[in-house]
Amino acid sequence: MSILVDQNTRVLVQGITGREGLFHTEQMLKAGTKVVAGVTPGKGGQTVQGIPVYDTVKEAAAQHGVDASIIFVPAAGAADAALEAAHAGIPLVVLITEGIPTMDMVKAVAEIKALDKVRLIGGNCPGLITPAACKIGIMPASVFKRGRVGLISRSGTVTYETAKALSDAGLGISTCVGIGGDPIIGSTFKDLLPLFNADPETEAVVICGEIGGSDEEDAAAYVKAHMKKPVVGFIGGRSAPKGKKMGHAGAIISGNVGTPESKLAAFAEAGVPVADTIDQIVELVRAKLQAS
């Protein structure tokens, strides 16, 4: 088992004929993902890597059973692409694009949540992977080994490093979800924790957070109230100055919101140990698994 995706998940690629779309379609196929169709408006009828391309998501979904869509559409059209997938009834939409205008995301997230049957991951995220089964994202699959730990992260490279460390240590990953570094995203830590809580393959969960916003605090509250499995935390950007945007649009401390102190206190309150370094994440997970 795993969450959200498995080896049977049928995947659509939106923006499949663009540079990023092409490259990552190839990489996803190599990782064993069942990519069944692509969409690029105006390029319907072509094939890419043997995969048929359609003008609209509706057409692609009617021809192939589609379980999930991954979006590589440039920022100006990315929120619209997510809405197109959602209205075509695709239950899982993974939005990779970075730099999407914030108001576009405010509107799209509200509309998709109102549909109440579509899960949006991202934008500005690396996607998700269940190792050796399905990758819907841009992460290097080679560093992910299948295993016992669920991983949720706001960052890309920190996720890969953590996954590699957990894999090298023999613990492995059940499913890894990169939720994205923007202020407005489709799914937060607390939206995904219940899925890991219910997944029999996942024995522990790692939350890789960072400064800015209060998603880590919300996650800690959920852990305290509901989580049956051990959770380990990590917070990036603990030394960042206030008011400066650290690469991710969401990683900014404004006023007293988003400080590392607040996140550390929330995790401590929930009994979640926080690793100072990525190597320490492995030690803490191991200790938690031995204790439980």
Which residues would be at the binding site for another protein (CB under 8 A)?
A: 23, 75-76, 99-104, 106-107, 109-111, 138-140, 142-143, 153-161, 164, 181, 183-184, 208, 210-211, 213-215, 218, 236-241, 244-251, 255-256, 276-279
The pair of three-digit structure tokens given for residue 142, joined into one six-digit string: 């080679």
> Residue 248 catalytic?
yes
Give the DSSP letter of residue 280: H
Residue 102, marked binder: no
| Separation in Å, CA 54 to CA 14, 33, 274 | 9, 19, 46
Q: Which stretch of DSSP H or E encloses residue 53?
A: strand 51-54
Q: Considering the complex, what minimum distance in angstroms separates the CB of residue 99 from another protein?
A: 5
Q: Which is nearer to another protein, 201 or 210 (CB)?
A: 210
- Residue with Cβ nearer another protein (23 or 56): 23
Q: Is 98 annotated as a binding residue?
A: yes
Q: Is 229 annotated as a binding residue?
A: no
Strand bridging mode 10-14 / 68-71: parallel
Rg (CA), the chain: 18
SS3 74: coil
Q: Which one, 36 or 166, has the nearer CB to another protein?
A: 166
Contact 39, 54 (CB under 8 A): yes
- Does the annotation list 20 as a binding residue? yes
Comparison of 71 and 249: residue with beta carbon closer to another protein: 249
C-alpha–C-alpha distance, residues 82 and 93, integer Å: 7
- List residues forming the annotated binding site for CoA: 17-20, 43, 96-98
- List residues forming the annotated binding site: 17-20, 43, 96-98, 160
Catalytic residue numbers, as ranges: 248
